């Protein structure tokens, strides 16, 4: 394990928070906005940064009135300037759904490479601890099940998902290089499927796609035969795991997610029961390189962080469904191109 002996001892590393300052990139996104909430709650001064290419200011508008929060409209792929001291950086800027990164592939690669480089450079200059958001997609279409952190993955670098998968793999390599060469205090979280309020209903991922179709009275679309599996983690559990990892002394990647695995066919049926709709499931061709299995091994998170998910899928889905159900009608009908109904 890389050494933490050169860790900056002057930074505010107390889990309870003591008025330190944290920069959160991707702050207006789903996970970034929840991280902003958590760090405000812990007593930190939060600088949120987002270029709003996929983020939405509505996710953080409740924070604008707080003196503990400030927002920078900025693309982290360009030079980042933050005045004064900085204790922590959480790099969460990135498109995160297939629809996004297939539509903006160059930006996806740039935020994972140039954006990560800029954040690490800032961490070096400020002597700040940095946590970067990696993903289960670094495992690709895995040949090992469940996936632990020692598995190197099965990724197609030139396939349609390669722009995201390889951006994240490069991000991890860059982070470890800064850790070993510059002694930057780094953390890497590998995030598995996460859900909850503030997800974009039209981002194309299975959970919001299924709920959106149910709310619009449409049949639910399952790709392939539905036997491929996913493991869904409620957002509050994920944020807790990320916070604990940031405050830990562990520099290598850690899986954070809920290992309760379910097939997409069974999950679609679960959504139909939850929403009380009468729609049926329709099947379409499986997209290229779509992972057949996705279940994380969280042994390391349990051992090192004392963390495991607390919110059951049934409980989390009720909260998430209520959130989506309360969205304005125009949001409900705002479909990505891939899901547009034929006239």
pLDDT values of the chain reduced to their tens digit, one per residue, 343 residues: 333 333 333 333 334 446 699 999 999 999 999 999 999 999 999 999 999 999 999 999 999 999 999 999 999 999 999 999 999 999 999 998 888 888 999 999 999 999 999 999 999 999 999 999 999 888 888 888 888 888 898 888 998 889 999 999 999 999 999 999 999 999 999 999 999 999 998 887 889 999 999 999 999 999 888 888 889 999 999 999 999 999 999 999 999 999 999 999 999 999 999 999 888 999 988 776 566 667 788 999 999 999 999 999 999 999 999 999 998 877 777 655 443 333 2
Helices (H), 30-97: 30-41
Entry pTM: 0.89
Domain extent, residue 32, equals 21-195+234-256
With respect to residue 156, please indicate whether it lies within any of the assigned structural domains: yes
Instruction: Select which of 139, 164, 195, 234 is catalytic.
Output: 164
Judged by DSSP in three states, 253 sits in coil
With respect to residue 99, please indicate whether it lies within any of the assigned structural domains: yes
| Phi/psi of residue 202, nearest 5 degrees | -105, 25
With respect to residue 16, please indicate whether it lies within any of the assigned structural domains: no
With respect to residue 210, please indicate whether it lies within any of the assigned structural domains: no
Q: Report d(CA 159, CA 125) in Å as an integer.
A: 36
Question: What is the number of domains present in the chain?
Answer: 1
Helix (H) or strand (E) run with residue 195 in it: strand 194-195
CATH number at residue 87: 3.40.50.720
Q: Report d(CA 12, CA 6) in Å as an integer.
A: 15
Report yes or no: 34 and 194 within 8 Å, Cβ to Cβ.
no
With respect to residue 5, please indicate whether it lies within any of the assigned structural domains: no
Active-site residue, 283 included: no
């Amino acid at each position: 394990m890389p050494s933490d002996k050169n860790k900056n001892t002057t930074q505010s590393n107390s889990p309870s928070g003591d008025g330190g300052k944290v920069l959160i990139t991707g702050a207006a996104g789903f996970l970034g906005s929840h991280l902003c909430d958590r760090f405000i709650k812990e007593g930190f001064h939060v600088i949120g940064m987002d270029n709003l290419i996929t983020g939405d200011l509505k996710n953080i508008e409740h924070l604008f009135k707080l003196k503990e929060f400030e927002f920078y409209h900025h693309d982290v792929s360009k030079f980042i300037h933050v005045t004064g001291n900085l204790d922590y950086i959480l790099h969460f800027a990135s498109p995160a759904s297939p629809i996004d990164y297939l539509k903006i592939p160059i930006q996806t690669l740039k935020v994972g490479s140039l954006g990560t480089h800029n954040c690490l450079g800032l961490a070096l200059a400020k002597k700040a601890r940095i946590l970067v958001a990696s993903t289960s997609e670094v495992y690709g279409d895995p040949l090992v099940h469940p996936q632990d952190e020692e598995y190197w993955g099965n990724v197609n670098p030139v396939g349609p998902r390669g722009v995201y998968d390889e951006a994240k793999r490069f991000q991890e390599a860059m982070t470890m290089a800064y850790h070993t060469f510059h002694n930057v205090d780094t953390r890497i979280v590998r995030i598995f499927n996460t859900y909850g309020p503030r997800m974009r209903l039209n981002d194309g991922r299975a959970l919001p796609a299924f709920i959106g179709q149910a709310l619009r009275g449409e049949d639910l679309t399952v790709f392939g035969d539905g036997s491929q599996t996913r493991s869904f983690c409620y957002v509050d559990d994920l944020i807790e795991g990320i916070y604990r990892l940031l405050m830990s002394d562990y520099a290598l990647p850690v899986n954070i997610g809920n290992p309760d695995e379910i097939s997409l066919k069974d999950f679609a049926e679960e959504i139909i029961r939850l929403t009380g709709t009468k729609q049926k499931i329709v099947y379409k061709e499986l997209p290229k390189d779509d992972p057949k299995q996705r279940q994380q091994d969280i042994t390391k998170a349990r051992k090192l962080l004392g963390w495991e998910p607390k919110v059951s899928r049934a409980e989390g889905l009720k909260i998430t469904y209520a959130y989506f159900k309360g969205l304005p009608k125009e949001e409900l009908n705002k479909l990505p191109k891939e899901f547009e109904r034929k006239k």
